[in-house]
Amino acid sequence: MSENIAVLGLGLMGSALAGALLGAGHRVTVWNRTPAKADPLVAEGAIRADTPAAAVAAADLVIVCVLDYPATRGLLEEASLEGKVVANLTTGRPSEARETASWVTGRGAAGYLDGGIMAVPQMIAEPGALILYSGSRTAFDRYQPVLAALADSLFTGEDPGLAPLLDLAMLTGMYGQIAGFLEAAALVRSAGYPVGEFTTSLLVPWLNAMAAQQPHMAAQVESGDHATEVSNLEINRSGMETLVRTFQEQGVRPDLLLPLKDAIDRRAGRGLGHEGLSGLVEEL
């Protein structure tokens, strides 16, 4: 079924979202602060609105994808939200999502969804793309077929702040992995070993094997039982000392590893060196 949808914000991600909706056969009205950014979408059949309020008026579902939550509210300030469903796919904090949900529904909106996009623009409408949603279950169920044109859609709960929190948690895991890769790459490069070969042949298989252990660690975090039958914190403490000294000897800064070393030292220093690495969660 074709729906009337507005997309506010036509950066790389907003344009990808609007393009996917057009490809799915929906009537899409678009607005961007720089009007020329809408030209490729208009050529594909989108309707250009002169103002955010005009775009909202033309739609039942309003998708916002801009820089931050203050920008979202600024765009919707002059629009009538009566009876609309607003899906805010802007990155922000859980508290901002809750405040925005209250503000939107307080202005007569039929529902509010907050979303965390776990994809880059090129992945939208392709396998592997995921968008997390939270907020109004009724709104999600009503528009789930539309949202499915963008990516796999997962409703996480009625707390509007839950999707952004999970989004940020997943990004945290990603940044941790990137930090580890960059330190490893710098160390390998310092020895003149090919970084590409190291990454493909050694690092990626090793990381995949280690990732398979994370569900067990998650169970330990949930239970609070951090006992281990493998390397405890004292062993890891010694290992981190070896890592840091090796980095220094190779002329590489271990800056991205040091916060983890500090947490291990702190936990072991309190007499908990017998625990596994999952115990570090109690230091955070």
Domains of the chain by range and CATH?
Answer: 4-158 (3.40.50.720), 166-283 (1.10.1040.10)
85 within 8 A of 77, measured Cβ to Cβ:
no
130 within 8 A of 154, measured Cβ to Cβ:
yes
Please give the backbone phi and psi of residue 201, each rounded to the nearest 5 degrees, phi first.
-85, -30
Read off the tokens for 46: 């989108």
pLDDT at 48: 98
Which pTM was predicted? 0.93
6 within 8 A of 59, measured Cβ to Cβ:
yes
How many degrees, rounded to 5, is the angle at CA 57 between CA 161 and CA 82?
Answer: 55
Beta pairing partners, 154: 132
| Distance set, CA 77 to CA 29, 62, 85, 153 (Å) | 18, 14, 15, 28
Beta pairing partners, 8: 31, 64
| 44-68: pLDDT as tens digits | 999 999 999 999 999 999 999 999 9
- The one-digit pLDDT tens for each residue of the chain (284 residues) are 899 999 999 999 999 999 999 999 999 999 999 999 999 999 999 999 999 999 999 999 999 999 999 999 999 999 999 999 999 999 999 999 999 999 999 999 999 999 999 999 999 999 999 999 999 999 999 999 999 999 999 999 999 999 999 999 999 999 999 999 999 999 999 999 999 999 999 999 999 999 999 999 999 999 999 999 999 999 999 999 999 999 999 999 999 999 999 999 999 999 999 999 999 999 99
Give the HSE-up count for residue 80: Cα atoms under 13 Å, Cβ half-sphere: 7
pLDDT at 50: 97
pLDDT at 1: 85
